[in-house]
Amino acid sequence: ELPPSEFMQVADSTWLVLNVVSNGREPPGCQATGVTKIARSVIAPLAEHHVSVLMLSTYQTDFILVRERDLPVVIHTLAGEFDIYKEEGGECVPVTSDDVSNGFLKPKPSASPMLHPVQSPQTRFCVLTVAPDTLPAIATMLIDVLFYSHSPPWDAGTGSQDLDSITFFSFSLIEGYISIVMDAETQKRFPSDLLLTSSTGELWRMVRIGGQPLGFDECGIVAQIAEPLAAADISAYYISTFNFDHALVPEEGIAEVIQLLQQRQESGR
């Protein structure tokens, strides 16, 4: 419904959402898993089959988006370990490989995915949610932060690898559930009793993947971060965007994360 505009760029793909539950052999309704827990079973196999994914973590769960044209490859890749369902009329219906076998092409072997540079700004972030009925109380402030923030944006033209800070604010509304990521300084502008977080109130640090906009034709970007973190049992909150990928990790683990990713970079050379 959005009118065409020279200022709006649209990716030339239609995407479908995958929601992975904790036990691939149980029907929908199980507890959803985190990005690092599905790194080996979902993210890595899709990367090996040259499927590009968008990753979106929320306060409640994690979602993987795949291009609709890649669905046959996705189902053939994951059907060995997972029962796969599609939603039809509000009901979950089992999907078999036979349903999408027409047009399936076995992926051709190719070179290993490119390892992109990783940046880690000093900014400390909060992962929050808010009850929908209290959203009107902070709506004006949300709009101000989203569109009129006075924080200086990072100059993409400088190509700086040593970021002191980064302007990043994420708001998602999925099936009535709201998730917000904001830096700790911005959080101070909101009423503390309306923003909900974990009981520990932990802060997060970010690693950003890519020295330039990544595009959607490359695979293995999420796997570059998720696989080493999964091997070290480090949780992550992952957000793919139009230009870059971002992984939030608990602040106390940022040094270990950077070390792991640097080792990954060196071993991939």
Rg over CA atoms, the chain: 19
Return the number of other C-beta atoms located less than 10 Å from residue 103's C-beta.
Answer: 9
220 pLDDT band (50/70/90 cuts)?
Answer: confident
Q: Which residue has the higher pLDDT, 121 or 109?
A: 121
**How do strand 177-183 and strand 237-240 relate by DSSP bridges?**
unpaired
Question: For residue 29, is pLDDT > 50?
Answer: no
In order of 12, 15, 21, the CA distances from 100 in angstroms are 22, 16, 22
Q: Which residue has the tokens 């039809």?
A: 88
182 pLDDT band (50/70/90 cuts)?
Answer: very high
Question: For residue 103, is pLDDT > 90?
Answer: no
DSSP 24: T
d(CA 1, CA 245): 27
30 pLDDT band (50/70/90 cuts)?
Answer: very low
Instruction: Tell me the mean pLDDT in the region 140-156.
Output: 71
163 pLDDT band (50/70/90 cuts)?
Answer: low
Q: What is the pLDDT of residues 80-97, one digit of tens each?
A: 888 888 888 888 888 876
Q: What is the pLDDT of residues 226-252, one digit of tens each?
A: 888 888 888 889 998 888 889 999 999
Question: For residue 110, is pLDDT > 60?
Answer: no
d(CA 243, CA 70): 21
Which is nearest to 261 in space by CA: 210, 219, 212? 210
Which token pair is 97? 């490989």
The predicted structure's pLDDT at residue 104: 45
In order of 115, 116, 136, 210, 236, the CA distances from 229 in angstroms are 15, 16, 37, 18, 8
Which token pair is 4? 């065409």
Left, alpha or beta for 5 (phi > 0: left; psi -120 to 50: alpha)?
beta
- Domain limits, the chain: 118-215+244-268
DSSP 89: T
SS3 content of the chain, % helix, strand, coil (to 5): 30, 25, 50
The predicted structure's pLDDT at residue 32: 45
User: What pTM did the predictor assign?
Assistant: 0.79
